[in-house]
């Protein structure tokens, strides 16, 4: 029997007789074949696992896969210890997804006892942050999957984080100018921020081309997303989302600095601190998403601020283009 193992750990966990390939090399080169395999697998999981209580957790796992292993065994139990250590979900020859214990969780014969592997520190962090939020009268509903641990997180390059933050800010400024009836001269922006301007997403490009007010209403919130990214570089103090970020501080830390000066100077905070902020953002977004319609947000939290900051941290810790980042909170059984 040929088994495929999909591990979220950054470091390889060798298994005798297995072949291993990495999604992204230390030099930043991406294995596009593996990326496509994972994308196809996610599509199949969504199609086949719509009634599974763990489908959200499986999809989140597949979005953060770092290594793909292939091994031939007589029975999945032969590699149980390795599967536990390497934090893998397994795929058998029939295409079913198995947990490290060999139980089918997606596909024919799936039961309700399987599990998505999680790092112990990730589970502990989630529980602690939920206790902290409960002290603010913010109750996070059960089911939100904890964010990944530092051993699993591959962050974006700091210069790319800076470029995204700059693009978010000048796009927000442009959106606000449209809503005020006096669109800014975007060609001047292009000359000042050539790299960040070239990084605009398809949706942002559409705003600049059409000056559509509905798009402007969406993209005017870019300051909050930029604030989250700049905070992860130690450039902005991020207040609790009952209040807006300090727009002056965000502006001065992004478009207020020339690209040749800003981008090489950026450094990300330690992964532990980023995972802390990411977990808090996910927990708050889960609480806002599942609150009773029409009921005031718990703790006076602004749902739109939460949404923008969570999106930014999902992008920072993920591999998807900005426009494709999902902010649906993955749930698990």
- The confidence score (pLDDT) of residue 55 equals 86
Average pLDDT, integer, range 181-210: 93
Count of beta carbons in the 10 Å neighbourhood of residue 250 = 29
pLDDT value of position 4: 97
For residue 292, pLDDT beyond 60: no
Query: Under a CB-based contact definition with an 8 Å cutoff, are residues 129 and 139 in contact?
Result: no
Comparing 34 with 108, the larger pLDDT belongs to: 34
Q: What is the mean pLDDT of the chain?
A: 92
* pLDDT computed for residue 77 by the predictor: 85
pLDDT at 291 over 80: no
- So what's the pLDDT on residue 188? 84
Q: What is the pLDDT of residue 326?
A: 84
Query: Is the model more confident about 66 or about 115?
Result: 66
pLDDT digits (tens, 9 = 90+) for 235-256: 999 999 999 999 999 999 999 9
* Per-residue confidence band for 324, with pLDDT thresholds at 50, 70 and 90: very high
pLDDT over 90 percentage in the chain: 75
Average pLDDT over residues 281-286: 94
* Mean pLDDT, residues 177-182 taken together: 96
When mean pLDDT is compared across 139-143, 196-200, 253-257, 272-276, the lowest value belongs to: 139-143
pLDDT band at 266 (very low <50, low <70, confident <90, very high): very high
> Looking at residue 112, what is its pLDDT?
75
User: b/e for 163-176, b at 16 or more Cβ within 10 A?
Assistant: bbbbbbbbbbbbbb
Mean local confidence (pLDDT), 122-149: 92
What pLDDT sits at residue 293?
Answer: 61
**pLDDT higher than threshold 70 for residue 104:** yes
pLDDT value for 52: 65
Residue 333 has pLDDT above 70, yes or no: no
Alpha-carbon gap, residue 81 to 263, rounded angstroms: 44
Which pLDDT belongs to residue 25?
87
Query: What integer is the mean pLDDT of 52-69?
Result: 89
- Indicate if the pLDDT at residue 50 is higher than 70: no
Mean pLDDT calculated for residue range 22-36: 90
Tokens, residue 7: 């591990």
**pLDDT value for 144:** 83
Question: What pLDDT is attached to residue 51?
Answer: 62
Domain ranges of the chain: 2-106, 118-327
């Amino acid at each position: 029997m040929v088994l495929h193992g999909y591990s979220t750990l950054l470091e390889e966990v060798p298994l005798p007789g297995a072949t291993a390939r990495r999604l992204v090399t230390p030099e930043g080169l991406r294995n596009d074949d593996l990326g496509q395999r994972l994308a196809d697998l996610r599509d199949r999981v969504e199609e086949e696992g719509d009634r599974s209580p763990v489908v959200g957790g499986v999809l989140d796992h597949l979005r953060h896969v770092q290594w793909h292993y292939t091994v031939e065994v007589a029975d999945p139990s032969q590699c149980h210890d390795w599967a536990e250590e390497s934090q893998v979900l397994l795929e058998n020859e029939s295409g079913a997804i198995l947990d490290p214990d060999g139980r089918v969780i997606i596909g024919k014969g799936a039961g309700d006892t399987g599990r998505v592997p999680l790092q112990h520190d990730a589970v502990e962090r989630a529980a602690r942050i939920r206790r902290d939020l409960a002290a603010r009268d913010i109750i996070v509903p059960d089911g939100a999957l904890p964010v990944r641990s530092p051993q699993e997180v591959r962050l974006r390059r700091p210069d790319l984080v800076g470029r995204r933050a700059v693009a978010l800010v000048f796009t927000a400024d442009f959106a606000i100018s449209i809503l005020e009836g006096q669109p800014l001269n975007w060609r001047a922006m292009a000359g000042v921020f050539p790299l960040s301007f070239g990084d605009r997403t398809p949706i942002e490009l559409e705003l600049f081309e059409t000056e559509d007010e509905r798009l402007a209403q969406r993209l005017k919130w870019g300051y909050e997303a930029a604030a989250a990214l700049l905070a992860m570089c130690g450039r902005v103090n991020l207040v609790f989302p009952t209040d807006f970020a300090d727009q002056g501080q965000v502006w001065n830390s992004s478009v207020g600095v020339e690209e040749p000066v800003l981008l090489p100077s950026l450094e990300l905070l330690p992964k532990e601190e980023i995972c802390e902020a990411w977990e808090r953002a996910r927990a708050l977004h889960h609480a806002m998403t599942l609150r009773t319609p029409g009921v005031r947000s718990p703790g006076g939290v602004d749902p739109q601020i939460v949404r923008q900051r969570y999106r930014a941290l999902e992008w920072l810790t993920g591999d998807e283009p900005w426009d494709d980042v999902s902010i649906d909170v993955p749930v698990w059984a």
